[in-house]
Amino acid sequence: MNTKQPAKSNKKNVLIIGAGGVAQVVAHKCAMHNDVLGEIHIASRTKDKCDAIAQSVKEKDSFKQAAVLHTHQVDAMDSQALVQLIQDTKIQILINVGSAFINMTVLEACIETGTAYIDTAIHEDPRKICETPPWYNNYEWQRKQRCADNNVTAILGAGFDPGVVNAYARLGYDMMDAGSVTDIDIIDINAGSHGKYFATNFDPEINFREFTGTVYSWQDSKWQSNKMFEVKRTDDLPVVGVQNSYLSGHDEVHSLSANLDVPNIRFWMGFGEHYINVFTVLQSLGLLSEQPVMTAEGQEVVPLKVVKAVLPDPSSLAPEYTGKTCIGDKVKGKINSVETEVFIYNVSDHKDAYNEVGSQGISYTAGVPPVAAAMLVATGEWDTGKMVNVEELDAKPFINLLNKIGLPTRIKDSEGDRALEFDI
Amino acid sequence: MNTKQPAKSNKKNVLIIGAGGVAQVVAHKCAMHNDVLGEIHIASRTKDKCDAIAQSVKEKDSFKQAAVLHTHQVDAMDSQALVQLIQDTKIQILINVGSAFINMTVLEACIETGTAYIDTAIHEDPRKICETPPWYNNYEWQRKQRCADNNVTAILGAGFDPGVVNAYARLGYDMMDAGSVTDIDIIDINAGSHGKYFATNFDPEINFREFTGTVYSWQDSKWQSNKMFEVKRTDDLPVVGVQNSYLSGHDEVHSLSANLDVPNIRFWMGFGEHYINVFTVLQSLGLLSEQPVMTAEGQEVVPLKVVKAVLPDPSSLAPEYTGKTCIGDKVKGKINSVETEVFIYNVSDHKDAYNEVGSQGISYTAGVPPVAAAMLVATGEWDTGKMVNVEELDAKPFINLLNKIGLPTRIKDSEGDRALEFDI
């Protein structure tokens, strides 16, 4: 040990990439915990949006220790511009909550500068819809070796789903007898109401991509294909009650199937009949297509971009959003050789989220977890020096931290329904 | 009488304006009756479309007497270009089955050149949707005096509806005791199937305009406003059986209310649940708006034009169209002081229409009547020398002629269901 080196400070500066509803949550939460994190920066293509978030953080007086949110303009598709920004701002952790199209250029900048990287969704090529699994192999995991070689911490999919649900899967898996887990069913229910005829909770271009193609699930230890809205389940869930959900493709099904020895891993997204009807009409007419069409007047137009233009801006929904979300994992296996099922979950309230950080509950559940991940990187507990998905990490400090900073976890099993907290 | 003048020939040359599905029917039917009509010309903005119709007329060998369909390019929004074309082609009758936006420029050219004018739908301003009644007052009837002053025959709304249904209304009205008619309900049912997920039978831009705004009907001798799909009726109709239809606004409700002394005149359009659902979704989202929106990329787009671009071209539906249409008038009043109701109607078959003229039944029912009108102008029976709506004319020769050329009329009342034919 070289005692002449200064004591290592845990405080690390953070750069948030993106300025949408989730970024707003991330900014507020980073500010609220800047005793653990250091200087907080935010950058996006449109600096005005960053400034609006900075204004919101200032108005709500979110910084725990006196500070300001530094705002920047950057084209996140330009790795070298990002490298320059990382060097200029002297940040050690980057939280990427921008468009899913920018993941690889941002990750490259982190690898080049030795910056810890955290994101919340899988990389997507804007020219493709619903690529076939194994998805992480297409882009992210091809950089595993380079992250390890450069001692770069990269935590993939650290939102709620993927993210917290991966930690729930890990916890459920570890509670059961080794090799006994048969099923992990991730259920995502938004029982909230935005009061509009129809709206998407995220950018419609991304939102609709989740279910315009084939639905892939992991069943009998292999990939199975279905159509969207083909397979339905109904659950009586805590707080939100009886809810329908539909087998959907989702990032975490791939990483969980690769990292845990479980034959059936499925993701279920809740949809109301009205949502399905509107989606089906738009989809059937070809209005969700990202391929341009030609109008009678000779104008080339991408139908999906027009649908996006007529739908409410997702960020505009927050003030009127009421009701709750319930997202969790049903894990089936054996404990002491007895068949059992546990449901590990979180319930969040749209109005509470808006009051706290000015965003609706869907953005809130997605934005709080990467801040928790950043705090665990700052404290060293998750500073892995390699690329990992959340289920590869110790879930306990993550769950305990989320309990404290706004996303409490509960567990429901044969012994009842109770808060989940760990003694570490 | 100056006996030195040549005997007046009844044969009159015809110019068809437009090259859509209805124009195709008009061209075939004019050709089939060119012993009564003379040279047949067709013109539209896109000459290729006219040439395709000429090719179809040639392939089906439709001309009764050896002739060719002459094709021309013209911008029908340019009255002077039309005047030039009318003079060049030496036509005496113009059948306007182009877009509803061109009626006034075409009518002006007819007034200037002394040409008989026939159309099938009311004039519309492309910048407005669903103007308030009395509709014909907005544009057409403002030219009544000039038509009379110039001895110009102008027959407005001479398609099926408006058109044949106006003649049906007149016939029913005349069958009843004077002043006894209480109700004329025009019912338009398309019980056919095009086999697509969704399509409109005419240009979507025109089709959706019929029911995106307020529905106006004539009830208790005054205008009443409703919303589309607010008022429904169910009828058990000849051939097509039990059908739902909805109170809709339509051109002929205005002219009939002005020309006949009847307190209740309503138009009912048949729609299936699926059609209503798709329409409601598109309408509610703002995708049927003719007002431009701005995409995130800064492109200005009219949503309705994009919907039109993704929908099937109405002319492409004909080959696979099956089933029948039933359109008619229920007229309630007294005959010899006894309360009675008659239903005067036509049933047409989509497949028969396609086999005869290469168009589906909706285009067929709209395209045959203006040709009958043109023939009656050529024979002098309808050569009024002024502007009229169909109910102002003698309906009997029109009905008799339609019986012969493809649209037989039937009547159903307490005495049964039988063909309607007049001894003149």
CB distance B197–A284 less than 8 Å? yes
Please give the Cα distance from A355 to A347 (Å, whole number). 16
| pLDDT the model gives residue B61 | 96
| pLDDT the model gives residue B399 | 98
Each residue of B346-402: pLDDT tens digit? 999 999 999 999 998 999 999 999 999 999 999 999 999 999 999 999 999 999 999
Chain A residues in contact with B301 (beta carbon < 8 A): 299, 301, 306, 309
Alpha-carbon gap: B224 to the closest alpha carbon of chain A (Å): 28
Q: Under an 8 Å CB criterion, which residues of A touch B?
A: 197-198, 277-278, 281-282, 284-287, 289, 293-297, 299, 301-303, 305-311
Decide if B97 contacts B26 (C-beta within 8 A).
Answer: yes
The maximal CA–CA distance of chain A, rounded, in angstroms, is 76
Chain B residues in contact with A49 (beta carbon < 8 A): none
User: Would residue A81 count as lying in a domain?
Assistant: no
Query: Which 3 state secondary structure label does DSSP give A216?
Result: strand
Quick check: B6 pLDDT over 60?
A: no
Indicate which CATH number applies to the domain containing A345: 3.30.360.10
Alpha-carbon gap: B304 to the closest alpha carbon of chain A (Å): 10
- Complex-level ipTM: 0.74
| pLDDT the model gives residue A315 | 77
Query: Which 3 state secondary structure label does DSSP give B25?
Result: helix
Chain A residues in contact with B302 (beta carbon < 8 A): 295
Question: Pairing between strand A410-413 and A338-349?
Answer: antiparallel
| pLDDT the model gives residue B134 | 79
User: Would residue B347 count as lying in a domain?
Assistant: yes
User: Would residue B199 count as lying in a domain?
Assistant: yes
Reading the block at residue B182, the tokens are 């209480």
Return the residue of B nearest to A296 by Cα.
Answer: B309
Chain A residues in contact with B206 (beta carbon < 8 A): none
Decide if A301 contacts A289 (C-beta within 8 A).
Answer: no
Which H or E run includes A292?
A: none
Return the residue of B nearest to A303 by Cα.
Answer: B306
Chain B residues in contact with A285 (beta carbon < 8 A): 197-198, 278, 282, 307, 310-311
Closest Cβ–Cβ partner in B278, B295, B311 for A306:
B295
User: Would residue B223 count as lying in a domain?
Assistant: yes
Return the residue of A nearest to B287 by Cα.
Answer: A310
Instruction: Burial-class residue B414 by CB neighbours within 10 Å (0-12, 13-18, 19+).
Output: exposed
Helical axes B273-285 vs A273-285, angle rounded to 10°: 90
Interface test with A, best of B197, B200, B281 (most A CBs within 10 A): B281
CB atoms within 10 A of CB A163: 31
Please give the Cα distance from B393 to B170 (Å, whole number). 9
Q: What does residue A222 show for φ and ψ, rounded to 5 degrees?
A: -150, 165
Reading the block at residue B365, the tokens are 């029912």
Return the residue of A nearest to B198 by Cα.
Answer: A285
Residues of chain A with pLDDT under 50: 1-8
Alpha-carbon gap: A322 to the closest alpha carbon of chain B (Å): 21
CB distance B285–A303 less than 8 Å? no
| pLDDT the model gives residue B315 | 77
Q: What does residue B117 show for φ and ψ, rounded to 5 degrees?
A: -120, 130
Quick check: B7 pLDDT over 80?
A: no
Chain A residues in contact with B299 (beta carbon < 8 A): 301, 305
User: Would residue B343 count as lying in a domain?
Assistant: yes
Decide if A98 contacts A119 (C-beta within 8 A).
Answer: no
Total domains in the fold of chain A: 1
Chain A residues in contact with B310 (beta carbon < 8 A): 285-287, 289, 293, 303
Question: How many pairs of residues across A and B have Cβ atoms under 8 Å apart?
Answer: 81
CB distance A301–B309 less than 8 Å? yes
Provide DSSP, A352-385: HHHHHHSS-HHHHHHHHHHHHHHHHHHTSTT--S
CB distance B295–A310 less than 8 Å? no
Interface test with A, best of B278, B310, B313, B315 (most A CBs within 10 A): B310
Return the residue of A nearest to B203 by Cα.
Answer: A296
Please give the Cα distance from B411 to A139 (Å, whole number). 71
Task: Using the Cα atoms of residue A308, residue A311, residue A313 and residue A314 in order, give the sign of their dihedral.
Answer: negative
User: Would residue A257 count as lying in a domain?
Assistant: yes
User: Would residue B38 count as lying in a domain?
Assistant: no
| pLDDT the model gives residue A192 | 94
| pLDDT the model gives residue A209 | 72
Please give the Cα distance from B70 to B86 (Å, whole number). 13
Each residue of B15-60: pLDDT tens digit? 999 999 899 999 999 999 999 999 999 999 999 999 999 999 999 9
Alpha-carbon gap: B280 to the closest alpha carbon of chain A (Å): 9
Containing structural domain, residue B226: 164-357+409-419
CB distance A310–B285 less than 8 Å? yes
Chain B residues in contact with A311 (beta carbon < 8 A): 285
Query: Which 3 state secondary structure label does DSSP give A273?
Result: helix
CB distance B285–A311 less than 8 Å? yes
User: Would residue B74 count as lying in a domain?
Assistant: no
CB distance A295–B306 less than 8 Å? yes
